[in-house]
Amino acid sequence: MGKWWVCRAAAMLSAAAAGGSLAAVLAAGTASAQTTAHAPAPAPGTTPAVAVQQDQVFVFYRAANGSVSMTDVTTGKTTSAGGRLLSAPSAVPDGGGLLVFGRGTDNQLWDTYCTTGGSCEPWGSLGGNLTSRPGAVLVGSDSDYLSVYVRGTDGAVWARDFGSPDWDAWHRVGGQVLGGTGPAAAAIGGSTYVMVAGTNRELYLEKVGVTGFNPVGGVTTANPALTAVPGALVGFARGTDNAGYYHRFLSSSPGWHPIGGTLASGLAASSPPGTARTYTFGLGTDSQAYEDVGNWSGYPPAFGGWFKVTG
């Protein structure tokens, strides 16, 4: 369990002592470690989330009732992570477990910690005023440094950073994000990058605190995804033809390139540190989650094709 969660647990104990735990349960719902015999389907159009922990790939998705389900892609086991979210979740690995973030029914940022076995802690609030799903990223090898990016009520990107031992205040990053979509974030070389769909539906990328948002082409109306392979950032997005596209952000590989599929949601992507593999997820037209694994040991990358992992 990472330092981030130790601090969160201490805050929860403090809130409980002050009588605040009941409010947390009512606002975000409870977590469950029980395997769902008949797991609820993903809510139509809702972008899934992905996190890779020690070569185990986990996809998280929001059901129609707002609860979050967690599927181990290797075993097919699905468990309930509880919660009550208004939009898609985001997830990152943490120590031996997984951190999950989402927009609660009060439009605040909520979070939980899940083990790889499917046991999840109660959800707790990190405040804010969100109008989108969050995009979370670890900077470094563990959870000593963590950032979460959201679309605020002014349409701009806002962020909250965790730097051991505690969370910093919310701050405005800038830009203007297309309504109904949220930021995607990734880290490489000690720097953090955020990608968004702009109000003109074009994609924009910022090296946080350095470059501002710059256009990187492509057109989408859904949540984009951002991850990193050795030596490069990689973006994924659903095109206006509902197929998946990727962009390796190097001058030697310009532009967006198709990976096919017929997608009904935005995309999520992850790559284990130091590996040349990407795991990309989206919903199909049957509102089930599909995965496409990319091998980046050469360029252009080799993709295995979309296959269903839920339902």
Kindly report the CATH number assigned to the domain that includes residue 91.
Answer: 2.120.10.70
Amino acid at the residue 187: A
Q: Per the structure, how many domains does the chain have?
A: 1
Q: In the prediction, which pLDDT does 35 show?
A: 47
At 274, give phi and psi (nearest 5°): 80, 0
The H-or-E segment that residue 209 falls in is: none
**Cβ-contact 176, 155 below 8 angstroms:** yes
Predicted confidence at residue 8, as pLDDT, reads 56
- Full-model pTM: 0.92
Q: Between the CA of residue 112 and those of 104, 115, 120, 125, 148, what are the distances in Å?
A: 12, 10, 7, 9, 14
Domain span including residue 98: 3-308
Q: Where are the alpha helices (DSSP H) in the chain?
A: 3-17, 21-28
Residues in the chain: 311
User: Looking at residue 180, what DSSP letter applies?
Assistant: T
In this prediction, the residues of the chain whose per-residue pLDDT falls under 70 are: 1-37, 140-143
Between CA 32 and CA 306 the distance in angstroms is: 30
Query: Residue 134: left (phi > 0), alpha (psi -120 to 50), or beta?
Result: beta
